[in-house]
Amino acid sequence: MCGKNDSVFGRSSAILLAVTIGGLCWARGAQAGAVEPARSWAVLRSSTLLDANWMFHLGDLSSSNEVIAPSYDDRRWRRVDVPHDYVLDGTYSPTNSRNHGYLRYRVGWYRKHFVIPESDRGRILQLDFDGVFRDSEVWVNGRFMGRHRSGYTPFRYDITKVARCGGQNVITVRVDPRRFEGWWYEGGGIYRHVHFCALAPLHVAHWGTYVISEVPNGNEGADAEADLTIQTMVKNDGAAPANCEVVSEIVGPDGSVLKTVKSAQGVGPGAEVEFSQNTVVQRPQLWSPQTPRLYRLRTTILENGDAVDATTTTFGIRTIRYDANKGFFLNGRRVEIRGTANHQDFAGVGIAVPDSLETWRVEQLKKMGCNAWRTAHNPPNVAVLDACDRLGMMVMDENRHLGDTYLPKTPRGTGYTDLSDLATMIRRDRNHPSIIMWSMCNEEGLQGTPEGARIFSAMAKVVRAYDRTRPITSAMNGRGGVRIFLGHGIADVEDIIGVNYNYGSFDRIHRRHPDKPMFGSEDANQKTTRGEYVNDRATGMCSCYNLSEKRWLPVVNRPFMAGSFTWTGFDYKGEPNPYGWPDVSNNTGLMDSCGFPKDKYYYLESCWSDKPMVHLMPDSWNWPGKQGKDIRVLAFSNARRVELFLNGQSLGAREMPHDSHVEWEVPYQPGQLMARAYTDGKLVATDVVQTAGAPVRIVLSPDRTTLRAGAEDTVVVPVSILDAQGRVVPGASNRVHFHLAGGGRLLGVGNGNPADHDPDKADQRNAFHGHCITVIQAGTHSGEFHLTATSPGLAPASVSFEAK
């Protein structure tokens, strides 16, 4: 039961769910201190965001018993907001772990003071962590709540018995990221959201709603109606039996209520009961990458006729099918999976990626024709899935390991008796229409063995207990040769076969498993550094000429291949391939770690996008000292023919091969290189690169300047160094300083240079090939604020933002 306390500390924001007679209403409010019920409605459940004003200490503490006490004085600790990645604050050193970005991983401690209102007495009180990396221990008011080892799955604690209603409460969290789960940069800290939830004793269980849609003859493209099955798990944490009624409202993409279904049943004390309801939606608006239409399920729980709880669940209606010989079909139409694999970190913020920045990242991939996102190699931030639902990006949702949370001292394939992390991923994510497959693991040592098949089968059983609408797969590589696909391993028991690389073995694998669909779960892995055209191990640079279409063509030229996921969409910190130090990040992205496109981004755009385009490589025409020497020039285009001009003189036209490129050897002379692309004799696209002069000024180019107030909304601000004619200076490495005035918050900086050892948590950064970024957050208050960028010898730039 709730106890007492007497002070208010910090700030929080709250979402209040309320009902009126005749329908469900929302009341939203950000406030200081506790949550107050809306005056005109009965508040059913509240969810308070606890992201602001945590106290943080880096390093372990020998006096842990003192630290967990509510009376402990933490005023000397550093104040931070979560999401927070404290490993990013460290200094790069070649003596630290190579794969994890040459940064030091240490224990960290967090404390949070917050008030629970007196009005929450008698309710069920819960603390939700969306993600902590990793091996976290949590105390509330000095009482131990539990330990969660996984760094990638959310977890919840019931704090009803230890909470103090009407006063201050203290959360203490110990984080230990020193044992890694992967072989890339994983960061450390409370890097996803934290919520405090207050519920009635009779309520919808956590992730307790599930909508299954089936379109009769949807595999043939039919869309006359959709059959919906609504499963609602209701939990009674009260001491007495409850007379429960579940009211389910289906809300269409336009906001209108399409159907209302009601069911009644008794729920005993301490029991969970599943309510199953069925209804039909006429002429459903189907979800697809081109038309990402979303429905909502509004669930209201009545006890003895009174509303006591309400939730809203977003879902979509679509039909997916995999064919062993013809590939992937969505709503009856064959769709080529044109995907990228992505780790979760980003320049300036590490793994603590704000929700709106996840949306921005999905948008950058959509622009070049990408239609699928692989969550490599772990359950993602749920904001990624929300963005994919809204924007139309299909998802390969991936579990971390073959089995559950991997402890390095435990041999892989042994001791995996608890599959709760997998169950969490499925239950949390199953309503997202963007997800088209579940992946159990990536490149596991047991993948080609009977033991691996046994573990995989146990995992598949867990998946199917919660969702039977999607196929189950894994990402298998050629460790030990192609025989892992041909023997008695995972490939024999999974629904569809995911192949990492092994381009020359697709036909052989298909012959061995003729009844199983196949796709490239990982391909390309080409190491290129933006703006670099020579391989240089000493500086850690990889030439953009390393690009090769030979790894996409084996996929697209085989109808039985459903598509593939390129490694990767963005460069990522850690696993510095192909070199180690001085590189601290990976070079495999279509974009660098800041989201600036590389040349190979445009190659795949020419393969994946229907919008006419042409791109010249190299992407600059500054080659001092090479006058008269041949420069290799490539053009990527989805047009039929490309003609190249140097300073107005034609160097000839080339017919564009399917999903390939054309090229010329061009004797260098300064000036302008231009490509013109034609289809059916009509000019459809052009691209120009010009010799740039000396750096003169800075330009800032955010994609929006209006943000939502409340501290969470974030925007990437690209920075470019230009010459007097407004051309990007490809060799510019000027140091740019950033200053915010009037509000907002500067989260971090980056430039895409894999060998840059400057800190991301700073207010300055060198440009790399003429570009860098800063990441700006709106802040808590509405109003205007201003960003200014300066550099010695350059004209400054500024941009104004408005937080609403």
Q: What's residue 405's pLDDT?
A: 54
pLDDT band, very low/low/confident/very high, at 772 (cuts 50, 70, 90): very high
Structure confidence at residue 482 (pLDDT) = 78
- Confidence label for 484 from pLDDT (cuts 50, 70 and 90): confident
Residue 38: is its pLDDT beyond 90?
no
541-568 tens-digit pLDDT: 999 999 988 889 999 999 999 999 999 9
Read out DSSP for 421-460? HHHHHHHHHTT-TTEEEEEEEES-TTTTSHHHHHHHHHHH
Give the three-state DSSP class for 681. Answer: coil
Average of per-residue pLDDT across 742-757: 96
Estimate the share of the chain in helix, then strand, then coil, as percent rounded to the nearest 5: 15, 40, 45
In tens, the pLDDT along 206-254 reads 999 999 999 999 999 999 999 999 999 999 999 999 999 999 999 999 9
Q: Say if CB 671 and CB 623 are below 8 A apart.
A: no
Angle (CA) 141 145 149, round 5°: 135
Confidence of residue 480 (pLDDT cuts 50, 70, 90): low
Catalytic residues: 443, 522
Q: Which stretches of 701-796 are assigned E, i.e. beta strand?
A: 706-707, 714-722, 735-741, 745-750, 764-766, 771-777, 783-790
Q: Yes or no: say if 50 and 80 are a contact pair by the CB < 8 Å rule.
A: no
Read off the pTM. Answer: 0.94
- DSSP H/E element including 64: helix 64-67
Contact 777, 745 (CB under 8 A): yes
pLDDT above 50: residue 86: yes
CB under 8 Å to 402, separation ≥6 — which residues?
412, 413, 416, 440, 441, 444, 446, 447, 452, 455, 456, 459, 474
The confidence band for 479, taking pLDDT boundaries of 50, 70 and 90, is low
In this predicted structure, what is the pLDDT of residue 1?
Answer: 46
Give the tens place of pLDDT for each residue, 321-352.
999 999 999 999 999 999 999 999 999 999 99
Q: With a cut of 90, say whether residue 409 has pLDDT above it.
A: no
Using one digit for the tens of pLDDT, what is the confidence trace for 642-657? Answer: 999 999 999 999 999 9
Mean pLDDT over residues 454-478, rounded?
95
What band does 26 get if pLDDT is binned at 50, 70 and 90? very low
Rounded Cα distance, 60 and 151, in Å: 18
- Kindly report the backbone phi and psi dihedral angles of residue 279, in degrees, each rounded to the nearest multiple of 5, phi listed first: -155, 170
Model confidence at 64, in pLDDT bands (50, 70, 90)?
confident
Q: Return the pLDDT at 403.
A: 85
Residue with the two structure tokens 């969702």? 467
pLDDT at 548: 86
| pLDDT tens per residue across span 6-20 | 332 233 444 444 443
pLDDT, mean of residues 671-697: 98
115, pLDDT greater than 70: yes
Average pLDDT over residues 416-435: 92
pLDDT in the model for residue 34: 32
pLDDT in tens, 170-185: 999 999 999 999 999 9
What does pLDDT average to over the chain?
A: 92
**pLDDT tens digits, residue range 617-676?**
999 999 999 999 999 999 999 999 999 999 999 999 999 999 999 999 999 999 999 999
The confidence score (pLDDT) of residue 2 equals: 60
The pLDDT assigned to 710 comes to 82
Per-residue confidence (pLDDT) for residue 181, from 0 to 100: 94
